[in-house]
Structure 1
Amino acid sequence: MSPTAIGLILMAAVAHAVWNLAAKRAGAGGTTFVWLGSVVSAILYTPLGLIVLAHAHAPLSTWVTMALVSGVIHTAYFVVLQRGYAVGDVSVVYPLARGTGPMLTVIFAMILFAENPGGVGLTGAACVVAGVVVIGLSGRSGPGSRGTLPSVLYGVGTGVIIATFTLWDAHAVTTLAVAPLALCWGSSVTEAVLLAPVTTRNMPNVRRVLAANKLNVLALGVLSPLAYILVLTAMRLAPVALVAPGRELSVVFVTLAGWLYFKEPDPARRLTGAAVVLAGVALLALA
């Protein structure tokens, strides 16, 4: 993998980890928090989005189609993920989602895009997925737990959605030459429009969530699209089957923050999983 692609993946992992930690701090913001972040993204990225579209190689109709479908899938992703956090353990839902997504992406990238990441690349991808699952299995159990089954079901379900939008968006930016920034901007606009009828019915709640989470909403609105733009740009430089697992380095950052900042339990197993993820990323860099 090229140094440029590795650099983009590393920056994306940091941005992704930061906005997820902001989402965790937002607590019970739920769908309203997601909608506010989408609105911020749609507004902030509009000038750049228009400039990119003005110089785009792909037809406008192609951009509209790909962005609309991407926005629908991403909306489902956020809703299912938030629901998973509500009924299951974050320490299980998040890692399983981030592990299942790249695993399925690798499989279908090889089938649909005829990619051949090679033995080293596949081994690295397997290490990343294995490390993420180890972290996920460190979720607490017993009387204080919300239950393993719901956590696993929502984690895997979210992972399936991750694989879906990753493959769709990869096709948009590689095969159809849709600019990553334009695609993410259009997706954010779609998310904001789709979630508006649900959230704006309770404007007092919207104001409450915004007042309590201004910085968290800003972090989500700026860093969520930025992280994905970096990933999609990396997909133009390296195979999807390598980029998708590599971006899960964010799990390591979230795991460390969960231990050091949020004082979450079972640090030994989580750090072991993080070490396996790092080993996998190192192998991906050699692929």
Structure 2
Amino acid sequence: MQPGTIAIVLVAAVAHAVWNMASKYKRGDTFLFVWAYTCASAALCVPIGIVLVATGAQPLSWQFAVGSLVSAALHLAYSLTLQAGYDRADLSVVYPVARGTGPVLTMLFAILLLGERLTALAMLGSLVIVAGIVVVAGNPFKGIQRNPLQGVLWGAATGAAIAGYTLWDSYSIVSLHLAPVSYYAGTLLLQTLLLTPGAVRRRDLISATVRTDAAPVLTVAVLSPLAYILVLTAMQTAPVALVAPLRESSIVIGSLLAWRLFHENHLVRRITGAGIVLAGIAAVSL
């Protein structure tokens, strides 16, 4: 994996971690928060996508339409599954299980379905990155109040959804030859259309949500598409089986930010996990 590609994915991981931190400051309705930042992201990206289409950089085609529609559905499935898991089980179980199983499933199905081939060192590096993520996450069952099996199942379902949209987006970028920016702009536009009926049913809360969460909405609206467009760009030149675990290094960055901003404990474990992830990145780069 080329150093430049690794740098792109790591920048994406930083952006991903920062917007996840910003989302912690959300105070209003969760559904409307997702709808608001999706609308704002679409407002930023769709005009760029229109320019790319108008200039011929991204022709309108059935591949573009189908790719964007399936991607939008898979991303929404991920969001809804994750939220359902948070509502029904402990976040401390759902989140690390999801972020750990997502890249593992992506690697497995990228090799089985997409025919990707990895060197033994690259595969080892990817598994070391996942191991570092597990170390950073810590023991997800410590101090939980609800049935841990339910959290594991919801986390695994979320991880499967992550693998689903990651593999499809890789296929769209590599095999259907869709441009990352216009492709993701189309996906955001369709997600907005799919979410809007639910927002209309909550219209009495829209004004309050936007006022309360303006700062996190704008932060997520800018950094979330930036992070994912960088990931899509990396998929053009690198196997998704390597991009997926490298992207999840965001959990390490987020964990260190949480220690600094929210005074969460276990700094030694977080640094140890970060060191393991860095070793895995070094192996992937070789």
Amino acid at match of 1:236: Q
Deviation at 1:237, TM superposition (A): 1.2
Amino acid at match of 1:173: I
Deviation at 1:184, TM superposition (A): 1.0
Structure 1, unpaired ranges of 5+: none
1:181-220 CA deviation, whole Å, 9 max, x = no partner?
1111111111111111112212222222211111111122
Deviation at 1:36, TM superposition (A): 0.7
Distance 2:30 2:148 in 1: 21
8 Å CA contact 1:56, 1:178 repeated in 2: no
Structure 1 stretch displaced more, 32-41 or 275-284: 275-284
Look up the match of 1:186.
186
Matches within 5 A, 1:63-82: 63-82=64-83
Distance 2:203 2:83 in 1: 20
8 Å CA contact 1:93, 1:136 repeated in 2: no
Structure 1 stretch displaced more, 86-95 or 156-165: 86-95
Deviating 4+ runs (over 4 angstroms): 144-147
Distance 1:273 1:283 in 2: 15
Look up the match of 2:97.
96
Q: In structure 1, the residue corresponding to 2:24 is in which secondary structure?
A: helix
Distance 1:282 1:88 in 2: 35
Distance 1:154 1:29 in 2: 22
Deviation at 1:110, TM superposition (A): 1.0
1:216-256 CA deviation, whole Å, 9 max, x = no partner?
11122121111111001101111111111111110111111
Amino acid at match of 1:123: L
Summarize the Cα distance change of 1:29–1:132 in structure 2 as closer, same or farther, 3 Å threshold.
farther
The question of 1:166 aligning with 2:169 is answered: no
Summarize the Cα distance change of 1:14–1:49 in structure 2 as closer, same or farther, 3 Å threshold.
same
Matches within 5 A, 1:6-21: 6-21=6-21
Q: In structure 2, the residue corresponding to 1:45 is in which secondary structure?
A: helix
TM-score w.r.t. length of structure 1: 0.92
Deviation at 1:83, TM superposition (A): 2.6
Distance 1:92 1:277 in 2: 20
Q: In structure 2, the residue corresponding to 1:83 is in which secondary structure?
A: helix
Amino acid at match of 1:127: V
Structure 1 stretch displaced more, 130-139 or 221-230: 130-139
Look up the match of 1:258.
258
Structure 1 stretch displaced more, 260-269 or 46-55: 260-269
Q: In structure 1, the residue corresponding to 2:57 is in which secondary structure?
A: coil
1:1-47 CA deviation, whole Å, 9 max, x = no partner?
11221121011101111111112221563221111111001111121
Look up the match of 1:203.
203
TM-score w.r.t. length of structure 2: 0.92
The question of 1:105 aligning with 2:106 is answered: yes
Amino acid at match of 1:101: G
Distance 1:84 1:27 in 2: 19
8 Å CA contact 1:92, 1:136 repeated in 2: no
